[in-house]
Amino acid sequence: MAKRTRPTLAEIREAHARIRPHIHCTPVVTCETLDRMTGCELHFKCENLQKAGAFKSRGACNAVLCLSDAEAAHGVVTHSSGNHAAALARAARIRGIEAHIVMPSNSPDVKVEAVRGYGGRIIFCEPNQPAREATASRVQLETGATMIHPYDDVRIIAGQGTAVIELLEDVPSLDAVMTPVGGGGLLSGTLIAGKGINPALRIVAAEPANADDSFQGWKRGQYVPSESPDTIADGLKTGLGKLTLPIIHELVDDILLAKENAIREALLLILERAKLVIEPSSAVPLAALLTNEHGLAGQRIGIILSGGNIDLRNFRFA
């Protein structure tokens, strides 16, 4: 039997029912000032208020709850710079199993402490993709744990797609939805669920200009590796996966880029004007809207604020 490469809308709905007891149905908020600045009607889906502080709790809970008892007995393993790591550690704690978390040595302190707080066992590695993957493979062999990839997993993609289901239940008349894109799990789930519910819905991704592998790959129609990304949006440094790449190439309507100063400014605007604490990755869609010709003027746009795990004591807005 061929290996599954993407979830269906029905499976995303099933995932939503499965994880509901373990996640927040996060609120949708608006801000008149940001509407005026963008010329759009914005509806922010606040996954910064999600369990473990990010949308990643959706996919992690779905993946862990889908494990058989035999699989779960050996625990789970992953590699992640932060939000998926914390979300998986929390999901494993809910199920009462062990979580082995491989983290780059330069992961933000706030995210490392979150993983420890949920009881995850942290194994540090060099801050590059080959080291992350090699270390996770070694730990998997040593422990027999099930690999739960941060984004290249059908169960993860299905869980992430539940956010847009809630968004469209709250605001059914949206013209477009925007998400940031790193590994592509959130964007892929949003594309399948959003267009499955409303085929006319435009779905637009936003990416840092300093980590534009998704944009370059989309334009060229082929995989482009993420090489030495240099962005404050640390959650978006990873490249697309084998599962997420074809979904995005097939379904995404546009990918907009945002420069670093625009990301910082958007983060500060959301903090000051919308009174929401977010991490830099969450600010990328607004930054892209404010600085690009995008053809979305006057439209009702849902923006998924992907997470709120930021170390405010050390972050430099200037």
Hey, which residues are catalytic here?
A: 56, 81
Mention every residue, 6+ apart, whose C-beta is less than 8 A from residue 272: none
CB under 8 Å to 249, separation ≥6 — which residues?
217, 218, 221
Q: How far apart are CA 223 and CA 241, in angstroms?
A: 9
Angle made by CA atoms 311, 314, 318, in degrees to the nearest 5: 110
Tokens describing residue 264: 């910082």
What is the CB-side half-sphere exposure of residue 288 using CA atoms within 13 A?
28
What is the spatial distance between Cα 287 and Cα 284, in angstroms, rounded to a whole number?
5
Three-state SS at 121:
strand
Query: What is the 3-state composition of the chain as percent helix, strand, coil, each rounded to the nearest 5?
Result: 50, 15, 35
Residue-wise burial string across 259-292, b where 16 or more C-beta atoms lie within 10 A, e elsewhere: ebebbbbbbebbbeebebbbbbbbbbbbbbbbbb
Q: Which two tokens stand for residue 154?
A: 């059908």
Amino acid, single-letter form, for residue 114: A
Closest CA to 227 of 130, 106, 89, 116: 130
Extract the tokens encoding 303. 């923006």
Shortest CA distance to 185 belongs to which of 219, 150, 218, 209? Answer: 150
Tokens of 278: 């977010």
Nearest-10 crossing angle of helices 9-19, 162-170: 90
Residue 133 CB: number of other CB atoms within 10 A?
Answer: 15
Measured in residues, the chain has a length of 318
